[in-house]
Structures are given as structure tokens and as C-alpha cells.
Amino acid sequence: MRGEYRPFASRADCRPAAPDGVARQAVHSIRLVPGFDNYGVMGNPVAHSKSPQIHAAFARQTGEPVAYQAIYVELDRFPAALDEFQRLGGKGLNITLPFKEAAWKSARVTSGRADRAHAVNTLWFDKHGKRHGDTTDGIGLIRDLTVNQDIQLSGKDVLVLGAGGAVRGILDPLFDQEPARVVIANRTISRAIELARLFLDRGELVACDYEALRGQRFHTVINGTSASLQGAVPPLPDDLLLPGACCYDMMYADTDTVFVTWARAHHADKALDGIGMLVEQAAESFHIWRGVRPETRPVIAMLRNS
Ligand code: ATR
């Protein structure tokens, strides 16, 4: 199992996809597809990304003339790769690990939610060449939870596991849902406290370690740790879930993640992985770029069946 998990935030690959979604050989230089508006995802590693497949599906569905490729970027080459993509006439980019903060710094105009997250996963260029940046990860999670899964967050106690970049990116849109309280639990409590300080103005927010979860029960638990990468689940109390609870893993894998398995074993009403979030954040990027909102359900179904 180890190594199979794909953190939501590090999806990407080195298989540039043609407009029809057919993977070509890995290349390290950028070549745009003539006759199309070109987009892509830059990352390192950029293997196993589903983004080219997702955006090819969106393009087919909407009839938008979009070509989307995965671009492997050497760790010290991100600014140069950005410049090159833009110079060649590329229209916009998704940015994945480890470049999200660098992308945020590179953008001249950024959204409030990107500034909070210190991350940009969606870049586009206006007619003057000015770079705009936004982050769609958090809204992707919230749309999957609230629209696709019909989970109500408003007035609820929500537990978020982890205090890294992935969690930082979801807190703003999470508070937009007006939960009663958000608890951030992390192995290293100082990181949870540090993160909580940045969002205290948004609502009721508590930072704690896993030990402090004893005796507390939640309606929604979101796993934003990278523990699944090690095949681990944070040490959670057995009676953590309220009846009807929803557990959501921001990661996904070909089989159930260990957190999804934990949730099922603890009788969660819903035990979900991050595939829906992945497609929803992509749809949000597509909407920013094209002004068209694609249907996400058939694309989520396609990925689950592939
Ligand atoms: P990302 O940008 O993907 O969020 P990160 O900033 O390295 O990556 O954060 C990883 C998160 O997963 C952290 O909250 C980390 O906990 P610590 O801050 O205590 O390191 C958490 N994490 C990773 N492995 C874990 C494990 N085995 N058990 C519990 N938490 C874990």
C-alpha cells in the first residue's frame, strides 16, 4: 500500500496529454498545442496526475478549445518555466507541490483566499501579461462536501486533522460555511496553534493535540494530514464520531485510504476520499479560465471507474 497514496495536493504527472486526453511521452520542455488555448499543471513530482484527464473531459463536455498538459519542472526552474509558458502563449496553469507558495509570490494580483492560504494553485494571465492567482483547493473540498455529498456544515462542529499547507488552504472556505466550531488537531500542537492564530477572526477555532480529543465527538472529520502516505491514521479516540458522521480524507488512492477504512470501521455514515475534491477544484479552475462551469459528477464517476 505504501507509496500508492496520492496526496490531493501533490497530484500531477509527467505525461503531457493531447487535447483528446491521450498521454504522450514525457518531455521536460514546454510545447504548446497549436490551434488550442493551452493550459497545464506544473509540479515536481508530476507523476500520476489526473488533472490532464479531468481537463480533457471538461473540454470535451463543454466544447471549449482547451489543451492541457502536465509539465515537470526542476526544483530550481519554476520561475523560468512560468516565464517560458507565458512567453509561448499559454493561457493559464494549475500549480501543484512544491510550487504553490512560489506561485502565490509570483502572481501580481491574488485573491483574498490565496493570500490567507499563502498558496496559489490556479494562475492566469490578463491581456497585459499580468499574472493573476487564486486557490481553488478549499472551495473544491467544500463543494464536494456540501453539493455532491449534501453534508451540512453550518452550525456543526468540524474536526480538521493536520496543520500543514493542505489544511491552511481549506480553512477560509470552511469558515464561509459558518460551522459552530472548528477544531484543528495536530501531532505537533505548536503548528496547530500557529495556524489557528491566522484564522481566529473567522470564527470559533480551537487548536489541540490528538490526546485532547478524548471525550469530544464530531459530525464531520476532515483528514488533512499526510499520514496516509505512511499508511497511518492519527491516533483518534474510538468514540470520536457522532451518529450520522461524515469522514473525509483529502487524499485519494486506487483503494480505500487507511483513513477511509478507519471511518468505516468506526461506523461513519459517509467515508469519502478526495477524488471529488480533486475534480471540484479543477472545475473551479476551469471556470476561472473559461467562464464556463463543467458538470463534475460524470467526471468523478469516470475517475472512480477508471
Ligand atoms: P501538506 O502541505 O501536505 O499539508 P505538511 O505541511 O508537511 O504537508 O503537513 C503534513 C501534515 O500531516 C502535518 O499536520 C503533519 O503533522 P506534524 O505537523 O505533527 O508533522 C501531519 N502528519 C504527517 N504524518 C503524520 C502521522 N504519521 N501522524 C499524524 N500526523 C501526521
- 2 lies in a domain? no
Which protein residue has the closest C-alpha to ligand 1 atom 27? 227
Taking the CA of residue 225 as reference, the ligand 1 atom at the shortest distance is 12
Cα dist. 111→120, 133, 173 in Å? 9, 7, 12
Q: How far is the CA of 169 from the centre of ligand 1 (A)?
A: 14
pLDDT, position 48: 83
For 145, 218, 262, the CA distances from 153, given in Å and listed in that order, are 9, 11, 21
Of 104, 194, 225, 258, the residue with max ligand 1 atoms within 8 A of its CB, to mutate for a pocket test, comes to 225
Residue 155 belongs to some domain of the structure: yes
Residue 100 catalytic? yes
* pLDDT computed for residue 28 by the predictor: 53
194 and 258 assigned to the same domain: yes
The pLDDT value recorded for residue 8 is 36
Residue 22: pLDDT above 50? no
Q: Look at the chain and report how many structural domains it folds into.
A: 2
Residue nearest to atom 8 of ligand 1 (CA): 164
Do 144 and 261 have their domain in common? yes
Nearest CA to ligand 1 atom 24: 227
Residue nearest to atom 3 of ligand 1 (CA): 166
Residues 298 and 244 in one domain: no
- Please indicate, yes or no, if residue 1 is contained in any of the structural domains: no
- Residue 68 and residue 83 share a domain: yes
* Residue 62: CATH number of its domain: 3.40.50.10860
The answer to the question of residue 71 being in a domain is yes
Q: Do residues 142 and 262 share a domain?
A: yes
Q: Is residue 146 located within the same domain as residue 269?
A: yes
The Å distance, Cα 225 to ligand 1 centre, comes to 5
CB 129 within 8 A of CB 86: yes
Q: How many CA atoms lie within 13 A of 78 on its CB side?
A: 22
How confident is residue 21, by pLDDT bands cut at 50, 70 and 90? very low
CA dihedral for 120, 168, 250, 149, sign (positive or negative)? negative
What is the separation of C-alpha 111 from the centre of its chain, rounded to a whole number of angstroms?
A: 16
For 25, residues 6+ apart whose C-beta sits below 8 A from its C-beta are none
pLDDT for residue 6: 37
CB of 118 within 6 A of ligand 1: the answer is no
* 268 in any annotated domain: yes
**Residue 127 and residue 216 share a domain:** no
Q: List the CATH number of the domain containing 204.
A: 3.40.50.720
* pLDDT at residue 196 in the model: 96
Exposed e or buried b per residue across 276-306, where buried means at least 16 C-beta atoms within 10 angstroms of its C-beta: bbbbbbbbbbbebbbeeebebeebbeebeee
Question: Looking at the domain assignment, is residue 238 inside a domain?
Answer: yes
248 and 291 share one domain: no
Q: Which of 96, 187, 189, 198 to mutate to test the pocket of ligand 1 (most atoms within 8 A of CB)?
A: 187
Q: What is the pLDDT of residues 158-182, one digit of tens each?
A: 999 999 999 999 999 999 999 999 9
**Percent over 70 (pLDDT), the chain:** 91
pLDDT of 23 > 90? The answer is no
**H or E element that contains 101:** helix 100-106
Do both 129 and 152 map to the same domain?
no
Q: Are 50 and 66 in contact (CB under 8 A)?
A: no
Establish if 97 belongs to a structural domain. yes
Same domain, 150 and 269: yes
pLDDT tens, position by position, 268-285:
999 999 999 999 999 999
How many A from CA of 168 to the centre of ligand 1? 12
Q: For ligand 1, is residue 227 a contact (CB within 6 Å)? A: yes
Whether 190 is in the pocket of ligand 1, judged by its Cβ within 6 Å, is: no
Residue nearest to atom 29 of ligand 1 (CA): 234
Note whether 225 and 295 are same-domain residues. no
Exposed, middle or buried, 203 (CB in 10 Å: 0-12/13-18/19+)?
middle
Q: Is the same domain home to 240 and 284?
A: no
- What is the extent of the structural domain holding 201? 138-273
pLDDT of residue 219: 95
Ligand 1 in contact with 274 (CB < 6 A)? no
